[in-house]
Amino acid sequence: MKPPATTQSNAPASTRRSFLQWLGTGTVLSLAAAAACASPPHLRGRPAPDGGKDAGPDADADARPDAVTDAATDGHADAPDGSVAEYPFTPGSITDDPLFRRWPERTIDLQDLESILQDWRLTVDGMVETPRTFRFDELVDLARVNFVMDFHCVEGWSILDVPWNGLHMSTLWELVRPRPEATHATFHTIGGTYNESLPLAITTEPHSLLAYGIAGHTIPLKHGFPLRLVIPRLLAYKSAKYVQRIELTDHPVNGFWVARGYPYDAPVPAARLREGKY
């Protein structure tokens, strides 16, 4: 269960540095700026602009139909197979990139930033032979994949050619060794609100990713820092933000949005998919 070899690269060793030192002061400042612009309380979706029904899991309160963007026009080069040209992963977010200025967001976690930087761990457990816990720098030290993939919201807008950086989930499965009876993975998020669930088979598809970066920089807080699930062929509400635990089970779990009436399977309509971008 390995991702395509052409998309892998090796991250620089960083295990001797603390998480806070590894990210650096610049990241703390940039993430604090992102949080300061977010109005919702801890992990809560914003109401619709008219005060009525929640507008959906992926949209910002001021999202407009023109929110569709093509990152390629902003200088993000991509290869024909969807991989990104090799470049180093550099700590620190890039919230000033044009891609983020046109990318609505709905679920924002207003966690204490220092607590995230110092204490966050990813736990992988449940129906596995060898449960593991990873620091952020340990995840970055694993084989990295760079994918340029489209990101589709249930509300109809899309962000094209997002240059994700992260690790293919098969890399984790090789380390924890799922037990034969495991059929699904539940992604638990910081605060426990926006959990999601996927069949284990989907997590091993070629472009299923645990993303910690975009375009070679730390993923911004409002887009899921420190770790988010990315499944390009599924609608974005299945790509849970703020992942801190992955639990393998023998059954599906209805996550936050599914429990509120959204489909569990959530495939992107075929007419919205671009070849090589999902």
CB 27 within 8 Å of CB 218 = yes
| Amino acid, single-letter form, for residue 253 | V
Strands 209-214, 228-230: pairing kind: antiparallel
CB 41 within 8 Å of CB 110 = yes
- Ramachandran angles phi, psi of 246, nearest 5°: -120, 120
Task: For residue range 92-138, list pLDDT tens digits in order.
Answer: 666 566 655 555 555 555 555 556 657 899 999 999 999 999 999 89
Please state the separation of Cα 41 from the chain's center in Å.
20
Burial class (CB in 10 A: 0-12, 13-18, 19+), 27: buried
The per-residue pLDDT string of the chain (278 residues; one tens digit each, 9 = 90 and over) reads 544 443 444 444 444 344 444 444 334 333 333 332 222 222 233 322 222 334 456 543 233 333 333 333 233 334 434 444 454 666 666 656 665 555 555 555 555 555 665 789 999 999 999 999 999 989 999 999 999 999 999 999 999 999 999 999 999 999 999 999 999 999 999 989 899 999 999 999 999 999 999 988 888 888 888 999 999 999 999 999 999 999 999 999 999 999 999 999 999 999 999 999 99
3-class DSSP assignment, residue 36: helix
Instruction: Name the DSSP class of 81.
Output: T
* Adjacent-strand bridge partners of 149: 162
Show the tokens assigned to 35. Answer: 């949080």
Q: By C-alpha distance, which of 228, 105, 229 is closest to 157?
A: 105
Q: Which domains does the chain have, with CATH numbers?
A: 20-33+67-272 (3.90.420.10)
Element (H, E) at 29: helix 19-36
CA 176 vs CA 136, 141, 181, 257: distances in Å: 17, 16, 14, 28
Show the tokens assigned to 163. Answer: 């240059």
Strand order in the sheet with 184-189: 132-134, 122-126, 243-249, 184-189, 196-199
Show the tokens assigned to 51. Answer: 């005060």
